[in-house]
Structure 1
Amino acid sequence: MPATPVPQPLRSLPADGLLADLLAVSMTGVIFYTPIYDPAGSGAIVDFRFEYLNPAAQRMMGMPEVPAVTHNEQWPHSKAHGTFDFHVAAYVTGEPREYNINYQADGYDNYYRLAARRSGDGLWVSFTDTADQPRSPVEVALRESQAREQAARADAETQRQRFYEVLMQLPAHVAVHEGPGLVFTFVNPHYERIANGRELLGQPIRVVWPELADHGILDVLERVYQTGEPFVAAGLPVQADFTRTGRMDQAYYDFFFLPLRDAQDRVTGVLNFSYDVTDVVQARQQVEQLNQELETRVQERTAALQESEARFRIMADAAPNQVWAVNPDTTIRYANQAFLDFVGVSLEQYVATGWSAYLHPEELELAQHTLAEAIRTGALYTLEHRMRRHDGQYRWLLAQGAPSFYPNGELYGYVGSAIDITDLKHANARLTRTNQDLDNFVYAASHDLKQPVDNLAGLWAEVRRGSRFADPAEEQLLVPMIDDALRHLRTTIDDLATLGQAQHTSTLPAEPVSWQDLTEEVLITLEPQVRSAQARITTDFAARPTVSFNRSSLRTILLNLLDNALKCADPTRAARIHLAIRQEAGQPVLVVTDNGVGVDAAKYGSELFHLFRRFHTHTAGTGVGLYLVNRLVEANGGRIVVESQIGQGATFHVFLGRA
């Protein structure tokens, strides 16, 4: 290793004479440096120390005659721009060197010409600064080129940031995997939520989701990376530990895997785009289950009938998600490939044409007004509308959007997605018609069966009066069983008749109804049950004393909710029931709270309103009441939310819809 050069004491710079005068009047900046060597002893020059700046250099650099900083401290980007290496080469070789640079860093933005030459143990550097001089055509062209390059980089970064914001705002699960291990390099908030605290970024997907190793979906993801072929699937079942409790839950997803490529068209990763359609699939399954249950129960209860109702088929195939973005003035900013494939045009054509050309004329004004109002108020955008597909057919879409903002808080526009719900709407229409047919059938069947059952009860009474069992023990066993069976059959037929009658009354016009008057009327009917349960019933109707609703339907709703609360009273304590009315978004909500035995609503909440479904066997009933309440509420555009735990009572929130 060469010995580290030892700096010699700097000869005093001439303080007078021709050289001093020349340096003083020179319009060229002059610097005298001495080298600073690597303290580790490698012999390498790591910096330069300022020893002297002439007046011109002081003026151009805004520094004193002997600056206290070093060369690299003054210009941290000197190494990156090559100027430091120029100084080192001039000193080490001892040969005169020249260097031209457009230095745009460390607070400088000028074109410099430098000349350097070693003198003894020091380095003389003279330079010119073109800040106050006319620029040459070459320099002007160079600076303009650099400006264009910077503008292009800034524009690219802006586009990248905007696309990032679109991905972050999408109401879908988005992730980017890179490399053969499919390592997470990006996830949006929706994906983070389903990961439920799992460490994602920098982790291979098989490490993050080990329970999916034998599922097959990870194999598909790897195949997209290996082949470069995209993958699209709708409604795939996925079993994973979403709650991170060791329990495998099943969900349904629409998947879209897109290979990502570099400038050489090599696959570097995969875009993972998925959409949770569990609610849609489960809704279809629940409808199918309900239809099957209704058919089975009707067949069991009406064994004298020979014909059976046709089964319902509901096919709700989820279409690939369509992603869109609009400007604050509602003009189109972006549409993804699925959207463009749907309308059958390029992005440029779609932007130029506008979305109004594809909307159904009957929904055009509503769609424009809804989006404009959402933008004006900053609210979420949700709308069902028809849109013309590339084959000319109008399809129903469910569009949802949310506002997107610049970092400074200014509205960037709206981003959202749309899914094809045409099949679901048609299925719902068929279901509505079928339900109406079924209601008519139940109504007619219950009335037709009422007379034969009454006749059977009369005949049984005559048999009991005119006959005796040979075996008294057998009489004591069979007679109560037959009486109970006839009573249960009559109750079931009466409930079915009530169900059919209520469906007819649900279409009757609304009228002003006083909550207090209606409650008093219902409590008179339920007086024996109230007395038996030692119930205390309190009310609070101050928020909305009167509601506009069909009185007969509202009486049926209140009667069955109170009857249910009384039946489910805890036998170990006196029943306490509270009725209240509150307003939510201008909609009246009936709240019924009790301290009864309760039910596990988190587990069985969706089954509470199934026909003939019962959760407590210690009380009489057929399981028709809550089903009837739910049908009447939904027929009016409302819904019911139940909060309950075993042993802690229950609270029914009845959103009355168009009231």
Structure 2
Amino acid sequence: MSIDDLDSEFELDLRLTEENLDELYDNAPCGYCSCLPDGTLVKLNQTLLTWLGYSRQELVARRCLQDLLTVGARLHYETYCAPLLLLQDQVREISYQLQCRDGRRLAVLLNANLRRDARGEPLVVRVTLFDITDRRKYEQELLRAKAEAEAQRELLTVKNAELLRINAELDNFVYTASHDLKQPASNMVGLFEELKRTATFHDPDAAGMMNMFEEALRQILSTIEGMTDVVQLQRQPDQGPEDAIDLHSFTQDIVRSLQAAATADFVLDFAAVPTLRLPRTSLHSILYNLLSNALKYAQPGRRPRVLVSTTLTTGGPVLLVRDNGRGIDLHRHGEEVFQLFRRFHPEVDGSGMGLYLVRRLVQQAGGRAEVDSVVGEGTTFRLYFPEA
């Protein structure tokens, strides 16, 4: 490119910057007007006239700035904005509504400056108006959304209080029912034992029926006791002070208390995390339920083997209980494992409450429970606890 070409391009750029000031004023993206101290309009740009729907002749020297405002805006301008202008010569970002010729209302943001003459007397007010229709709609939408959110929150508060009341009533009902049923059921067990001891039955089917009845009684008592445990857990979320529990000795004590422990192999490995800070009653209930289940649901024909261990993750300690038992079909029952009254091996005695209690106790400690299982191979429970 030659020097002449550069000069020509430079001259062209300069020509592009030579704008007509009157055209800039008239077609600015905001409204401009000038008025006398009493509000009489003396000059308006075309943008403002277009917004309002008036001609220049209809407004200049014939109408006041206040006449362009809605009633509420006019009152505010005369009692607040105009005195403030006289006091400090400017006002900034005051939200008003303009009254258009066709009855529409236009939301604007007003900025104004008061110019004075050489003697300091008010001379002219220069006003800039910005169309904030979209902004106003957005603000109104935010207010509407906020009001809806507050209404929903109040509704949820009411519903939550109602649910708490219903849950409390259900807890009282279950606790009362389980308490009232326990004694009659225990009496039935005693009477049945006495019946077996003293009565003679000549029917060859009597022995089988007696066994079925005895099994039904045990199931009733187990369910009643489980219901009582669940309600007590609901009523007493605080299981007592947290202790730094030595897992090895604590777990050994639980293993010794299990009747079928002698027929199983237990492997305890707490090298990674030797202690856990939990309420002793909570940890006892967790381990007792998991270890007794490992024995109860052992695979027929295979000696039970149970591994209880700990690992340490970035989130905190993990307690693992792994067995080689019957396993659970997680494809069918994965969502139900920790739910109340869920049983996956009907041929084995149980109330369906143990795993529910385990998960609730772990959650109360701030953790979570997970399970992996393969049918016929075994089950692994992982209990994640927060870092102490």
- TM normalised by structure 2 equals 0.59
Whole-angstrom CA distance in 2 between matches of 1:617 and 1:503? 27
Structure 2 residue corresponding to 1:557, chosen from 286, 295, 299: 286
Residue number in structure 2 paired with 1:490: 221
For the Cα contact (< 8 Å) 1:611–1:624, is it kept in 2? yes
Query: Any residues of structure 2 matched to 1:603-642 within 5 Å, and which?
Result: 603-642=332-371
**Corresponding residue SS for 1:613:** coil
Match of 2:147, as an amino acid? H
Give the 5 Å matches for 1:71-470.
129-131=4-6, 135-136=10-11, 138-142=12-16, 343-344=142-143, 389-390=146-147, 393=150, 430-431=162-163, 434-464=166-196, 467-469=199-201
The two structures, once aligned, show a CA RMSD in angstroms of 3.6
Distance in 1, Cα, partners of 2:159 & 2:363: 17
1:521 aligned residue: 253
The alignment status of 1:577 with 2:306, answered yes or no, reads: yes
Q: Which has the higher helix share?
A: 2
Q: For 1:515, give the aligned amino acid.
A: L
Give 5+ residue unaligned stretches, structure 2.
Answer: 20-134
> Matches of 1:613 and 1:633 in 2, distance apart?
18
The CA deviation string for residues 186-208 of structure 1, in whole angstroms up to 9 with x for no partner, is xxxxxxxxxxxxxxxxxxxxxxx
Q: Is the 8 A contact 1:593 1:650 kept in 2?
A: yes
> Which secondary structure does the structure 2 equivalent of 1:390 belong to?
helix
Check the 8 A contact 2:322/2:378 in 1, yes or no: yes
TM-superposed CA distance for 1:615, in Å, is 0.7
Give 2:318's aligned residue: 589
Kept in 1: contact 2:325–2:377 (CA 8 A): yes
Following the alignment from structure 2 to structure 1, what is the Cα–Cα distance between the partners of residues 307 and 164?
A: 34
Q: Residue 588 of structure 1 aligns to a residue in which SS?
A: strand
Note the alpha carbon deviations across 1:3-46, whole angstroms, 9 max, x for none.
Answer: xxxxxxxxxxxxxxxxxxxxxxxxxxxxxxxxxxxxxxxxxxxx
| Alignment CA distance shift 1:609-1:133 (3 Å) | closer
Q: Which residue of 1 aligns with 2:39?
A: none
Alpha-carbon deviation of 1:423? 6.1
Give the distance between the partners of 2:203 and 2:376, measured in 1 at CA.
Answer: 43
SS in 2 for 1:610: coil
Instruction: Tell me, yes or no, if the aligned pair for 1:637 and 1:656 is still in contact at 8 Å.
Output: yes
Q: Measure how far apart 1:425 and its partner are.
A: 7.0
**Deviation, structure 1 residue 493:** 1.8
Cα displacement (A) at 1:598: 1.4
Inter-CA distance 464–637: structure 2 relative to 1 (3 Å threshold): same
Instruction: State the shift of 1:524 in Å.
Output: 1.2
**CA distance, structure 2, for counterparts of residue 569 and residue 640 of structure 1:** 21
Which one of the candidate residues 259, 262, 269 is aligned to 1:531?
Answer: 262
- Structure 1 position 649, deviation (Å): 1.8
How many angstroms apart in 2 are the aligned matches of 1:392 and 1:502? 34
Other structure's SS at 1:451 match: helix
Structure 1 residue 617, shift from structure 2 partner: 2.7
CA–CA distance in structure 2, aligned partners of residues 436 and 583 of structure 1: 38
The offset of 1:131, in angstroms, is 1.8
Q: Unmatched 5+ residue regions in structure 1?
A: 1-59, 62-127, 146-335, 346-387, 397-421
8 Å contact from structure 1 (residues 596, 647) kept in 2? yes
Q: Please give the secondary structure, in 2, of the residue aligned with 1:621.
A: coil
Pair 1:644-2:373 in alignment:
yes
Report deviation, 1:483: 2.0
Contact 1:510 1:548 in 2 (8 A): no
C-alpha separation between the residues in 1 aligned to 2:310 and 2:333?
26
Cα distance change, pair 545–465 in 1 and its aligned pair in 2 (3 A) = closer
Q: Specify the SS of the correspondent of 2:10.
A: coil
Shift of 1:488: 1.9
- The residue type equivalent to 2:170 in the other structure is L
Over 3 Å counting, the alpha-carbon distance change for 1:586 and 1:610 in structure 2 is closer
CA distance, structure 2, for counterparts of residue 524 and residue 497 of structure 1:
25
Deviation at 1:390, TM superposition (A): 3.3
Does the C-alpha gap of structure 1 residues 590 and 426 become closer, same or farther in structure 2, counting only changes over 3 Å?
A: farther
Report the residue type matching 1:489 in the other structure: I
Is the CA contact 1:639–1:657 (under 8 Å) kept in the aligned structure 2?
A: no
- Specify the alignment match of 2:77 in structure 1: none
Alpha-carbon distance between aligned partners in 2 of 1:339 and 1:632, rounded to the nearest angstrom: 47
In 2, Cα distance between equivalents of 1:455 and 1:551: 33
Displacement, 1:591?
1.8
- The Cα shift of 1:556 comes to 0.1
Q: Report the AA paired with residue 192 of structure 2.
A: W
State the Cα distance separating 1:589 from its structure 2 match: 2.3
Q: Deviations over 1:431-480 (max 9, x none)?
A: 555445434433332222121112223333444555544x4224334322
Structure 2 counterpart of 1:500: 231
Give the secondary-structure state (helix, strand or coil) at the position aligned to 1:607.
coil
Q: Is 1:542 matched up with 2:234?
A: no
Residue 15 of structure 2 aligns with an amino acid whose one-letter code is A
- Which whole-Å deviations, capped at 9, do the CAs of 1:328-351 have from their partners, x for residues lacking one? xxxxxxxx9999666328xxxxxx
Partner of 1:511: 242
Partner residue in 2 for 1:568: 297
